[in-house]
Structure 1
Amino acid sequence: MDITTIIGIVLGLALVAWGILTNSDLGSYIDPASLIIVLGGTIAGYLVAFPLKEVLNIGKVIGKTVKNSEFNIDQIIGKIIELANVARREGLLALEEAVSEINDEFLQKGVMLIVDGTDPELVKNIMETEIENLSDRHSKSKSMLEMMGTLAPAFGMVGTLIGLVAMLQNLSDPSSIGPSMAVALLTTFYGSLFANLIFIPMAAKLGLKSNEEVLIRNVMIEGLLSIQAGENPRIIEEKLKVFLPPSVRKTVGTQEAKSENG
């Protein structure tokens, strides 16, 4: 689990609660009508913006923000160097036996294309098309949360207008002014809180995770094409290490390449 998402939300709510309690009581900031206007309106707008099959996926989209990445670029590079060593010792056809040990479907597909003798340019085109489709899916997921981040403050303003209208209609009754103003202000408060603490940050995290996955996919393509071209595992290692931060480059793939060269 990506604990930072949970920590961020809990910390944000705790700070807001602390700010409330230092000046007032928490109960005065709880208003079911305001909450229904903001959340209900956000959900309604979300239903209008996206088709049903996308709407039903919102749980999975949110779940991605609290799950750790399935990929470890260090391990991926190490695996590619290992495949390069196998191909150098036994030939490309020997990679077919290694496919069963690969957990990633994208990398499996690339290896099988190489084993089948597919033209390198076609291998590259097929795998880049996969990445484009992946990016499109991720972009759609991100846009869902961004839409909710836009709608929440908007419906907060709608609630504010409702409260102001109710207040202006009852100026002759001083006792109604306070509750009406509370609804007006609390809907804006709820809309801003949901948008800036939950929806927009989650969309940003999805974007980061998508960029990370696309980077790793590109590392796989570069590595597989290098294997297909018959390049030395040491050269492949150095090419792929460019994708890593300098602080971790020395620890990746060294032993695999050494064992081949030794």
Structure 2
Amino acid sequence: MDFATGLGIILAVISLVLGFTSDGGSITALVQPSAMLIVFGGTLGATMVGTNLKQFAGIVKYLKIAFLTKKRDALDTIDQLVHLATVARREGILALEEEIEQYDDPFLKGGLQLVVDGVDPELVKNMLEIELSAVQERHLTAAHIFESAGGYAPTMGIIGTVMGLVHVLADLSDVTRLGPQIATAFTATLYGVASANIFWLPIATKLKKRDQDEMLIREIMMEGILSIQAGENPNILGQKLRAFLAPSNRTRKVAAKVGDANVETAQS
């Protein structure tokens, strides 16, 4: 689970509420069901208009990705590819067919199966690139939904405030109630701006970060698969794949495992 997402939202909400109440404000003044309905219902409706029903229905799945998906370890992926390169170098490409079943990632399994089937390297590369492009398109579509909601929410807040003011100004018989009613009307603007900047837009940013992390892993996989097909040395492959990572992220038992692979190769 990604605790940063949930903790960040909670921290932002608590900060706003404490800042409001510390000046004497009442929490109950912030709870306005009619404003919530206008802002959140209107935001979801407008977002639905801008996408198709199937994509919109995936919001729950996208939220799970933002809140629950754990970042994959690129070094583990490199270790796996180095191991596969060692097997292919020692026993031949066809030996990878037994190894494939140990992995769950469909991108890795599909690419390795193409190699085992003897598909031309250029065609393997093209097919993997097409799949990468399609995956990224799906990821960015998810982020776009939340970006759209983040754009609509403040506007819905303003609409809710205007509707509230229309209601207030329609009846000025009791001047003493004018102040509280206007304050209530502006709650809609608060909901719209706050939801956009605390929830919708940050979630879109998180999904884009998830996409970047996933693309990095898949680019490492693609390079590893093509290198295995080309028969590259496992040690060289490990060094090349670690070059995808920042220098500070390139070490963590990888060197030892690559060394073990070299020992196995030398012994064979």
TM-score (norm 2): 0.93
- 2:121 alignment counterpart: 120
Deviation at 1:33?
1.2
SS in 1 for 2:244: coil
Residue 260 to residue 52, structure 1, CA distance change in 2 (3 Å): closer
Deviation at 1:252?
4.7
Deviation at 1:193?
1.0
- 2:80 alignment counterpart: 79
Contact 1:34–1:186 (Cα < 8 Å) also in 2: yes
Q: Does 1:48 align with 2:49?
A: yes
User: d(CA) in 2 for partners of 1:228 and 1:126?
Assistant: 14
- 1:21 alignment counterpart: 21
Deviation at 1:253?
3.0
Residue 248 to residue 46, structure 1, CA distance change in 2 (3 Å): closer
User: d(CA) in 2 for partners of 1:124 and 1:39?
Assistant: 45
Greater Cα shift, 19-28 or 245-254: 245-254
- 1:247 alignment counterpart: 248
Q: Does 1:220 align with 2:221?
A: yes
Contact 1:88–1:230 (Cα < 8 Å) also in 2: yes
- 2:198 alignment counterpart: 197
Q: Does 1:8 align with 2:8?
A: yes
- What amino acid sits opposite 1:56 in the alignment? A
1:174-185 → structure 2 map (5 Å cutoff): 174-185=175-186
Query: In the comparison of the two structures, how many residue pairs are matched?
Result: 262
Contact 1:85–1:233 (Cα < 8 Å) also in 2: yes
Q: Deviations over 1:19-58 (max 9, x none)?
A: 1211211111211111111111112112222222122111
List runs of 5+ in structure 2 lacking aligned partners: 264-268
What is the aligned-residue identity percentage?
A: 39
Contact 1:159–1:183 (Cα < 8 Å) also in 2: no
Deviation at 1:168?
3.0
Contact 2:2–2:68 (Cα < 8 Å) also in 1: yes
User: d(CA) in 2 for partners of 1:54 and 1:250?
Assistant: 39
User: d(CA) in 1 for partners of 2:241 and 2:135?
Assistant: 21
- 1:210 alignment counterpart: 211
List runs of 5+ in structure 1 lacking aligned partners: none
Deviation at 1:106?
0.7
User: d(CA) in 2 for partners of 1:98 and 1:70?
Assistant: 24
Contact 1:149–1:200 (Cα < 8 Å) also in 2: yes
Deviation at 1:76?
0.3
Q: Deviations over 1:125-150 (max 9, x none)?
A: 11111111101101110011111111
User: d(CA) in 1 for partners of 2:153 and 2:261?
Assistant: 58
Q: Does 1:143 align with 2:132?
A: no
- What amino acid sits opposite 1:72 in the alignment? D
Contact 2:29–2:184 (Cα < 8 Å) also in 1: no
User: What stretches of structure 1 move > 6 A for 4+ residues in a row?
Assistant: none
SS in 1 for 2:250: helix
- What amino acid sits opposite 1:5 in the alignment? T
- What amino acid sits opposite 1:154 in the alignment? T
Root-mean-square deviation over aligned CA pairs: 1.5
User: d(CA) in 2 for partners of 1:158 and 1:180?
Assistant: 16
Contact 1:85–1:257 (Cα < 8 Å) also in 2: no
